[in-house]
Amino acid sequence: MHAAGAVPLAAAGPPAPAARRKLRVETRRFSSSRASRGSVPPRLGRARRSAVPRRALSEKEAEEAGGASSEDAPDASASSGGGSCPLGFGKDGPIANAVDGARKAMYLSFMSSTSPLTMEEARASASAADPADVTVLDNRVFLKSLKRAIEDPVGMPAAILDWHGAVGKDTVGIENPLGPGCVSTIDPRVVEYVCKTNASNYRDRLLPDIFRLVLKDLGVTGSQGEYNRQHRKVCQKPFINASFLQTFSDVVERRVEHLCDSWEMAAEKAAATETENKAAASGSFVTDVDLHSQHLLLDIISPISFDYNFNLLDKSREVITGSETTFVENPMLEAYHRSAEIMGEVFITPLPLLELGAKLGIGRLRELTDAYDDLERMGDDIVKKRRAMHQATLDRGEEIEQICLLDTMLFLEDPETGERAYTDEELWGDMNDIMAAGHQTQAATMTMALLYISRNPDVKARIEAEVRALPDGRAPTFEDVSEGRLEYTQWVIKETLRLHPPIHMFPRLASESDVMPTGHRVEKGDLILLSTWAMGRNPNVWEAPETFDPERFSDARLHELARSQADPDADEDAIDRAVTMLKSGRDFIYTPFGAGPRSCIGGLFSLLTVTTIVASCVRRFDFEPDEKTLPRDAPIPLRYDVTMCYPNGINMKLTRRGAGGEEGKRKEASEEVAAGAR
Ligand code: HEM
């Protein structure tokens, strides 16, 4: 682990400086440039959330499971106007305590590891920087990197890591002959500067032009500025709200059991065939786990976003059990997949070319805009039907039970005009966004975690032991994750995200010119390249970064990490605080969910969900590599387009577990198969 002496970078060049330097404090004061936020958030009109939480997550649970940025803290007073808030956000409302826990975690999540980097410190560091140390790579490096980025399945982050390795610096400037200048950093302290200390100057994310053509600046991901701030706030609420999280846990538990039941049926079938062939009936079968991950996560994210069920798990069961031979895709999903696929193809094409292409019908652009129009039409229909359904409930004088994100947004009003806060088009923009942002990311993480589990018997054994120790041999829940009963499983998910973050970059645009704490000049419109993938491989931060080592998220190892990255005079309280931050996955060292005001709004939910899913799968099945198609030591066949994906699927060998608490499950499943066959 790096302390004062840095671990040398692989490529030639001077040794890298410590990733986290103590920045000299300057006496001159700088005023904060954080923009003030003027507009008033929308408030709830007439809907109520009447579902009673099964059990509220405590403060510790919310913290441990991961928080969100403080800019997104649910503003209880804004929604409630006191203790009688119909939503329950008021002081004495049923949700208040739970939200308090989450809010505390969010506040913590916005603090840096030990002591926050102030603007004064950053300015002092910038003016003290030796110009000879301010490395700027010339434009030939950039052009060469484009080739590397195209050839490497990871894309640009692979080139970025090369830049840092080649010059032994954690922050470098790059001349870009094709567009704005760039600064790339894998130094947590500089990431903190961009995402927190001077976040107001780097709030905007670089959005691919295709988003503007297709998403029309709607949705959380596709928007900037005040629109983004408002929609983030509203969309995030259910995903950090204890009562909703309990409801979502039920959805996750039911869906993953459904998938495991289908696998159980596949195992029964395999065993029957083996018996016919007089082979020992192992009930093992090989399947593309990633396909199932995608189905599962879409069947989880769509009901919790807008109470819609694609029934993908049912359909894949029909195929698994042989009652259907072909998989008929839902038209909405078909449009969604088509648009996602084409978007991946034109992700970096500039807007004028896109507009021309769409007009002239070149390439697949018209197909894309048509697919998106289809999606919008279907989405609009869903929104309208749901509004009418709830309106009828209200007209009967009854309360609406809010069970999904859409329910929380349908009746929001603009507090200044009393008008409906969001148009149906805006609402659909958000639903579509949550579905897109929350499905492939989690599915890819689930697949990757199971692949590592299949390749590492020790890791598998520890998860098995954790799951077996759950009370009464029951299936895992969010509560198990948040109460630490699946601690090791969660380390596995975190380590998976460190090595293979589904979104590997979170670049920012400079609103005004600036000088970074390292002395790098930034002009208005320049790009700051922040790559989670490259940061996760920074040898100045992570010991043996290429090794899959879940234990690095244990308390002891996190203390070591925090200590190695901290100011030398940081006290134990500061180190403890840093560890809490690292545990919640929201520090500037570990950034799978991005950082700062544009960070992911689904981090907490994702950690709960993927941990629960993986533990549930391991509880019922043994995962091993399929030596024929994807041997244990083979490179992982992944690619990044909009997110990480596996173009050829990920085959694994699944064997049902035979002992103990599994007997009942197996019996149930075989009875179901028998009933189906009758
Ligand atoms: C393993 C799962 C996930 C990973 C690794 C992930 C990662 C990320 C990352 C890296 C960003 C960009 C952050 C930045 O620029 O600082 C992001 C943004 C976003 N994520 Fe996630 N995400 C995941 C799941 C989810 C889920 C489940 C949801 C929905 C609840 C979600 C909703 C969003 C949204 C709406 C944004 C855009 C935020 C904005 O632009 O203001 N994500 N995510």
How much helix, strand and coil, in percent to the nearest 5, is found in the chain? Answer: 55, 5, 40
Span 85-100, mean pLDDT?
Answer: 34
Q: Specify the pLDDT at position 620.
A: 96
Q: Specify the pLDDT at position 55.
A: 32
In SS3 terms, 270-330 reads as HHHHHHHCCCCCCCEEEEEHHHHHHHHHHHHHHHHHHCCCCCHHHHHHHHHHCCCCCCCCC
Distance 519 CA to ligand 1 centre (A): 30
Distance 437 CA to ligand 1 centre (A): 6
The answer to whether 134 and 173 have CB atoms below 8 angstroms apart is yes
445 ligand 1 Cβ < 6 A: yes
Query: Mean pLDDT of all residues in the chain?
Result: 78
Distance 585 CA to ligand 1 centre (A): 13
**How many CA atoms within 13 Å lie on the side-chain side of 600?**
29
The answer to whether 149 and 132 have CB atoms below 8 angstroms apart is no
Q: What is the pTM of this model?
A: 0.82
**How many CA atoms within 13 Å lie on the side-chain side of 76?**
22
Span 58-72, mean pLDDT?
Answer: 37
State yes or no: pLDDT of 87 exceeds 90: no
Residue nearest to atom 33 of ligand 1 (CA): 600
Domains of the chain with CATH codes:
244-492+600-677 (1.10.630.10)
Q: Specify the pLDDT at position 73.
A: 33
State yes or no: pLDDT of 319 exceeds 90: no
What would the pLDDT profile of 532-566 be if each residue is shown by its tens digit?
999 999 999 999 999 999 999 999 999 888 888 77
503 ligand 1 Cβ < 6 A: yes
Distance 454 CA to ligand 1 centre (A): 27
Cα distances (Å, whole numbers) of residue 438 to 18, 63, 70, 295, 593: 35, 21, 21, 13, 11
Q: Where is average pLDDT lowest: 338-347, 447-456, 547-556?
A: 338-347
The answer to whether 261 and 671 have CB atoms below 8 angstroms apart is no
595 ligand 1 Cβ < 6 A: yes
Helices H / strands E in the chain, number of each: 25, 14
Q: Where is average pLDDT lowest: 133-142, 367-376, 438-447, 610-619?
A: 367-376
Distance 554 CA to ligand 1 centre (A): 25
State yes or no: pLDDT of 672 exceeds 90: no
H-state helical runs in 111-214: 119-128, 139-151, 156-167, 188-192, 209-214
602 ligand 1 Cβ < 6 A: yes
Proportion of the chain above pLDDT 70, given as a percent: 75
For the CA of 596, the closest atom of ligand 1 is 16
Q: Specify the pLDDT at position 357.
A: 66
Pocket test for ligand 1, best of 226, 306, 593 (most atoms within 8 A of CB): 593
Residues composing the chain: 678
* CA–CA dist 557, 563 (Å, integer): 10
561 ligand 1 Cβ < 6 A: no
Distance 123 CA to ligand 1 centre (A): 31
